[in-house]
Amino acid sequence: MRWLIRTITRKAKGTIAHSDESVTADSLNLGRSPGQDVFLSDLRVALEHARIESLKGSRFRIESLISAGVRVDGKLQQAAGAGVGSRIEIGHHLIRIIKPPAGYDAAIEISESEAASEPNVSKFSDRPFSLGKTWLSKRGPAWAFFLLFLGIGLALPVAGYFVPGLQEKLRASPLPSDNQWESGTLQAAHHFFGEDCSTCHTEAFRMVKDEACVACHATTAAHADPEYFALPELAEERCASCHKDHNGLDGLVRQDQRLCSDCHSDLDATSNGLTTLANADDFTANHPQFKVELAAWGANGEFMPRRESLSSDLLSEDSNLKFPHDVHVAAEGINAPDGKQVLDCGDCHQAEPGGGKMLPVKYETMCADCHTLGFDAQAPDRQVPHGKVAEVLFMLEEYYANRALEGGYEDVTAPAVVRQRRRVGSIQRLSQTERAAALAWARSKSRRVGEDLFEGQACSVCHRVTRSGEGDTLAWQVSPVRVAGVWFPKAEFTHGSHTTMTCESCHDARESAFSDDVLIPGIDNCRACHGGEDNSRKVASTCVSCHNYHIYDEVIMASGNAE
């Protein structure tokens, strides 16, 4: 086949000179040795450097004859296919395969490559020497990252907020929803709705509203009667101003002393003198003596408990009960039916299950062993019922009438008819007179016994007993017993959390001879172990350790003040 080999030499001012020659061969050999079809005079060319082979359909195969290879279309290769327009670079020579003109089967064009003029650095000139010239870039990635994080972090969730239903889809999908905004773990109790931010965050760019809280916490009491204490501080606070969530599993309730001390360090000022409460802001430094609630009765006998400071001299409990603790808990013991017995507090005072209050003391289980209600030596196991005054007299009369009619009752003071034994089934044989005498005795007898019970050996030992009437109208009253059920209604004390202590360490019952002694320990006793918030050597106890904030239950937060 016939090749056209066109050599192009550039002249100044862009003038270009061709010189054509034609070769007839199947393939062209390119090289620096004279024998080559295409002679390339350049030391960078090997003697036999490459071969161009013509395949069918004006395709060509370029093959390097040396290990250095040839550049075909910019790539250094050992062998490569090529077509019209391909560029082959060998040394300084640029060989282009061009469309063969009429009369030729193939044509190549040889010219000095642009670099030829400056052979030196040309080899490197096309290669980047600084990162700036590589594909690296700052602007592109910067934008990409910026938009990426803005989109994922902001655009998506916000869209979710405004497009109804989208947020749920997002949460369901692996795509990030507004949950990525959760700044910290929710308080344990809130977890069950924590997934859905809008439960609390109802409105964009507005702080969480109280409505959101009281939706569940409907029965939360107010702190104080807003009528008197509508203090701005209280009115303007939001639930969330104390209850800050997203701060871990607990810690939703403020424990700090400042919560109270802000107002309670100077109540007169903060409540315009409307309060009766004393100032308090630190358990060690500034807290009034405890007040206990004692039983008391109004003018017409209605129950009106009174509060007394534990350090006031009006402090005495009148429970209508006569009970000297010292006798009962005496160390050497107390006389019991079967010899001496040593009692301890627990025998009478037992905590409620849960350890909150104490169970009431019961006669039947706790006193009856010693304080029996028997009345007739000839029938030692007969007893009058406890706590039922009317029944006692009735029961006595019935008992003695019965004994009189039966007869055989050993008593010198009794008439014969009561003493003589009867034969079986001979009752009806008693005469009217006999019968009357027997019953009369029985009546007087029961009176005497009753009197002895009430005023003598039984009731009046523990209870306050008053008698009224004479003769047939004679009767006794036992004043009802009333002990203070809850000593500290405004604070919370549980024995449960003090089980490590002995009772004596707080209540010195052994010293108490009178039943109107109040054995509740005062503040100093607590201070022995408890101190204020920042007391490092004692149990640091803040206000809310004993007191509650939401205590004024006449007003419910739900009908709330805030907002």
Instruction: Read off the tokens for 543.
Output: 């206000």
In three-state secondary structure terms, 416 is helix
Beta bridge partners of 475: 468
Of 428, 404, 427, 426, the C-alpha closest to 417 is: 404
Instruction: Read off the tokens for 171.
Output: 């949460």
Candidates 120-128, 287-295, 444-452, 483-491: pick the segment binding another protein (CB under 8 A).
Answer: 120-128
Provide φ and ψ at 321, rounded to 5°.
-120, 140
Q: How far is the CB of 89 from another protein (least distance, A)?
A: 11
Q: How far is the CB of 52 from another protein (least distance, A)?
A: 19
Q: How far is the CB of 128 from another protein (least distance, A)?
A: 6
Q: Is the dihedral of CA 52, 55, 59, 61 positive or negative?
A: negative
By CB under 8 A, the count of residues binding another protein is 72
* C-alpha 550: how far from chain center: 17
Q: How far is the CB of 70 from another protein (least distance, A)?
A: 9
Q: How far is the CB of 242 from another protein (least distance, A)?
A: 7
Q: How many C-beta atoms surround the C-beta of residue 545 within 10 A?
A: 15
Contacts of 551 (CB under 8 A, 6+ apart): 221, 223, 490
User: Would you say 117 or 502 has its CB closer to another protein?
Assistant: 117
User: CA-to-CA distance for 528 and 540, rounded, in angstroms?
Assistant: 12
DSSP 440: H
- CA-atom Rg of the chain in angstroms: 56
Q: How far is the CB of 185 from another protein (least distance, A)?
A: 7
Residue with tokens 């947020």: 167
At CA 560, angle to CA 556 and CA 562, rounded to 5? 145
Among 258, 340, 382, 388, binds another protein (CB under 8 A): 258
Among 1, 55, 76, 163, binds another protein (CB under 8 A): 76
| Window 43-62: residues binding another protein (CB under 8 A) | 43-44, 46-48
- Are the beta carbons of 211 and 563 closer than 8 angstroms? yes
User: CA-to-CA distance for 272 and 232, rounded, in angstroms?
Assistant: 13
- In three-state form (DSSP H/G/I as H, E/B as E, the rest C), the secondary structure along 461-473 is HHECEEEECCHHH
Among 2, 19, 101, 143, binds another protein (CB under 8 A): 143
| Window 187-216: residues binding another protein (CB under 8 A) | 197, 201, 204-208
Q: How far is the CB of 549 from another protein (least distance, A)?
A: 13
Instruction: Read off the tokens for 38.
Output: 């295409």
**Contact flag: residue 380 with another protein (CB under 8 A):** no
User: Would you say 247 or 365 has its CB closer to another protein?
Assistant: 247
DSSP 186: P
**Contact flag: residue 238 with another protein (CB under 8 A):** no
User: Would you say 66 or 296 has its CB closer to another protein?
Assistant: 66
Among 102, 103, 129, 429, binds another protein (CB under 8 A): 129
The DSSP annotation for 13-49 comes to GG-EEEEEEEEE-SEEEEESSTTSSEE---TTS-TT-
**Contact flag: residue 145 with another protein (CB under 8 A):** yes
Candidates 118-126, 212-220, 300-308, 341-349: pick the segment binding another protein (CB under 8 A).
Answer: 118-126
Q: How far is the CB of 557 from another protein (least distance, A)?
A: 19
Among 68, 212, 296, 483, binds another protein (CB under 8 A): 68
Stretch 2-31: interaction string toward another protein, x if CB under 8 A: ---------xxx-x----------------
Half-sphere exposure at residue 322, Cβ-oriented, CA atoms within 13 angstroms:
11
The DSSP annotation for 254-281 comes to ---THHHHHHHTTHHHHTTT---PPP-S
Among 34, 132, 339, 471, binds another protein (CB under 8 A): 132
User: Would you say 19 or 134 has its CB closer to another protein?
Assistant: 134
| Window 161-190: residues binding another protein (CB under 8 A) | 161, 178, 180-185
User: Would you say 199 or 320 has its CB closer to another protein?
Assistant: 199
Q: How far is the CB of 266 from another protein (least distance, A)?
A: 21
**Contact flag: residue 254 with another protein (CB under 8 A):** yes
**Contact flag: residue 157 with another protein (CB under 8 A):** yes
Q: How far is the CB of 35 from another protein (least distance, A)?
A: 13
